[in-house]
């Protein structure tokens, strides 16, 4: 019985190590990628603002044309038009437009088919959330804060663009480019380092398909970083990687491991 209990405990620990985004993992709250009952693919702020303006213009014009005499329709127009116009403008102020999406080297239909057959539920939700109008929080604000990619008291990295691609092994990859003025590239690498593809790969897994992740420094001057999460296909390793400027991949080491490697290389170069 003790041996069976120990085996059960080991299996439970292995499952907990790969718990998906929609469950708690390392203090991460459930539901960090927003579930919405329906998606709005147009600007609500524009619709309400324009409707309020048209109603206000009609009511005001009708009032002036009738020499200051008003009827019930004009009165109701004044009552509802001004709040609608102000409310619409407030929504426009808090509105975040959809993030641009590209499919380099493939058609949108091909990428949609690959996403449906290979992509995870979390990848699909990220894409859906980022390519619609949202109000209030920045795109992916809660996941980025949960991954500690935003310094305390400062804004999260800003999602600038998305791209979909097919990996060499035939998997589905979703790449996200962030403007990260407050998050050093070293912090991104530290969040990638670790067993099982690092915390980022585990965080975005859905419990059914494993993911692999890699990071790329796009521009030091513009402070942009690209994060890619891709499905783990047969024969691939889940080691977190860094995509270098020459197009090659290198395993990501912790800051301490990099310092040790640099010291060892310096000693080796100094020795006769």
Q: Which residues pair with 231 in a beta bridge?
A: 211
pLDDT confidence of residue 240: 82
31 Cβ partners below 8 Å, 6+ apart? 22
pLDDT confidence of residue 23: 43
Furthest C-alpha separation in the chain: 101
Q: Which of 169, 155, 166, 159 is nearest to 238 (CA)?
A: 169
Contact present, 232 and 187 (Cβ < 8 Å): no
Cα separation, 59 vs 71, in Å, equals 10
The 3-state DSSP class for residue 3 equals helix
Angle at 125 between CA 123 and CA 130, to 5 degrees: 100
Phi and psi (nearest 5°) for 208?
-110, -40
Contact present, 242 and 215 (Cβ < 8 Å): yes
Give me the percent of the chain exceeding a pLDDT of 90: 23
Neighbours of 251 (CB within 10 A): 12
pLDDT confidence of residue 21: 41
Ramachandran region, residue 104 (left: φ > 0; alpha: ψ -120 to 50; beta: rest): beta
Look-up of token digits 């290389």:
265
pLDDT confidence of residue 13: 45
pLDDT, tens only, 158-189 = 999 999 999 999 999 999 999 999 999 998 98
Q: What is the DSSP letter of 86?
A: H
pLDDT confidence of residue 185: 92
pLDDT, tens only, 25-65 = 333 334 455 555 555 666 777 788 888 888 888 787 777 77
Ramachandran region, residue 235 (left: φ > 0; alpha: ψ -120 to 50; beta: rest): left
pLDDT confidence of residue 19: 44
Q: Which two tokens stand for residue 235?
A: 């024969």
pLDDT confidence of residue 184: 92
Contact present, 179 and 157 (Cβ < 8 Å): yes
Mean pLDDT of 82-100: 80
């Amino acid at each position: 019985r003790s041996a069976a209990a120990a085996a059960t405990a080991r299996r439970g620990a292995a499952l907990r190590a790969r718990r998906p985004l929609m469950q708690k993992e390392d203090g991460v709250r459930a539901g960090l990628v927003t579930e919405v009952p329906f998606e709005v693919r147009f600007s609500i702020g524009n619709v309400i603002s324009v409707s309020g303006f048209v109603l206000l213009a009609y009511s005001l014009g009708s009032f002036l044309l009738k020499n200051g005499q008003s009827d019930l329709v004009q009165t109701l127009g004044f009552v509802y038009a001004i709040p609608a116009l102000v409310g619409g403008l407030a929504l426009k102020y808090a509105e975040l437009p959809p993030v641009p999406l590209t499919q380099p080297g493939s058609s949108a239909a091909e990428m949609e088919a690959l996403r449906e057959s290979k992509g995870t539920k979390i990848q699909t939700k990220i894409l859906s959330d980022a390519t619609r109008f949202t109000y209030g929080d920045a795109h992916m604000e809660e996941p980025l804060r949960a991954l500690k990619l935003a310094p305390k008291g400062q804004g999260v990295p800003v999602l600038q663009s998305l791209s979909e691609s097919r990996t060499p092994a035939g998997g589905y990859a979703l790449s996200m480019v962030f403007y990260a003025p407050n998050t050093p590239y070293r912090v991104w690498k530290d969040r990638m380092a670790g067993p099982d593809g690092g915390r980022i790969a585990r965080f975005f897994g859905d419990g059914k398909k494993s993911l692999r992740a890699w990071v790329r420094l796009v521009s030091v001057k513009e402070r942009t970083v690209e994060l890619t999460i891709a499905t783990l296909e047969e024969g691939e390793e889940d080691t977190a990687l860094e995509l270098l400027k020459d197009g090659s991949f290198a395993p990501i080491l912790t800051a301490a491991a990099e310092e040790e490697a640099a010291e060892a290389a310096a000693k080796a170069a100094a020795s006769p």
